[in-house]
Amino acid sequence: MRIDVVTIFPEYLEPLRAALLGRAIERGLIEVDVHDLRDWTHDVHRSVDDSPYGGGPGMVMKPQIWGAALDEVCATPARLIVPSPAGRPFTQAMAHELAAEPRLVFACGRYEGIDQRVIDDAATRMPVDEVSIGDYVLIGGEVAVLVMVEAIVRLLPGVLGNQLSHEQDSFSDGLLEGPSYTRPEVWRGLAVPEVLRSGNHALIDRWRRDQALARTYERRPDLLAALPEDALDQHDHAV
Ligand code: ADE
């Protein structure tokens, strides 16, 4: 997969080159290119924003500069993602969908956003999604890109050591993941649940499922309500 990011703060994206993502780059599993939007400016101040039509606070990013940047960066076919608090919610299902794309381009807006015509114009030539990572407002899209890229790239074959680890993730079966434990057996007077040391795998699977159901019921009842009817078996209903 190839990932391009256009931003006025390229240094914000440096964490992409660290840890697991950095290793995925070194191993050729992903290719990442970060572009400075100001490279497409022509004035001495390299300005990228202007005041909004209709008045109001903040600044809007100018269409000409974004237009030129996206013409160049999206010259080879890509799916364009524009992080925005006004976008569709980013979910694990969307991470899976985007992980199947050969090429993603992220356009990071700052200030009050990007002139809408940039998005509308791009949408005549390529798939475009405005995407929000949650119901809160960040200063810009850069951190949202870090979040999305991490969620997407860890799903690519070979990135995680153990392919099973993301099959058991929270959300992969519509539920939150239950608690995990490692040695020692007792720590600060707290014991690891007996069942996990029983060696009875059917019992362990049932216990984990019950924990996931109980946790989801308590913390995210909205997720339980959204499960399809056949997602719960008889035992689940008893929990
Ligand atoms: N930019 C500002 N806030 C954002 C959010 N919640 N999600 C995505 N991009 C954003």
Residue 165 has pLDDT above 70, yes or no: no
12 & 97 share domain:
yes
Give residue 92's pLDDT.
Answer: 96
22 & 115 share domain:
yes
pLDDT in tens, 75-84: 999 999 999 9
* Among 225, 205, 5, CA closest to 107: 5
Q: Using CA positions, which residue lies closest to atom 5 of ligand 1?
A: 85
Q: Tell me, what CATH number does 233's domain have?
A: 1.10.1270.20
Distance CA 81, CA 40 (A): 19
Give residue 67's pLDDT.
Answer: 98
Asked if the structure places residue 136 within a domain, the reply is yes
16 & 132 share domain:
yes
Q: Using CA positions, which residue lies closest to atom 10 of ligand 1?
A: 84
ipTM of the complex: 0.98
Residue 161 has pLDDT above 90, yes or no: no
Catalogue the E-assigned strands of the chain: 2-7, 31-36, 49-50, 60-61, 79-89, 103-107, 128-132, 186-187, 190-191
Q: Tell me, what CATH number does 135's domain have?
A: 3.40.1280.10
Give residue 232's pLDDT.
Answer: 87
133 marked among binding-site residues: yes
Strand partners, 114: 61
pTM, whole model, 2 decimals?
Answer: 0.94
180 & 140 share domain:
no
**Last-in-domain residue among 153, 183, 199:** 153
22 & 138 share domain:
yes
In Å, how far from its chain's centre is CA 120? 23
Torsion of CA 74, 20, 36, 72, to 10 degrees: -10
H or E, element range at 221? helix 221-226
Cα 131 to ligand 1 centroid, rounded to whole Å: 8
Distance CA 228, CA 239 (A): 17
174 & 144 share domain:
no
Domain residues for the domain of 46 are: 2-153
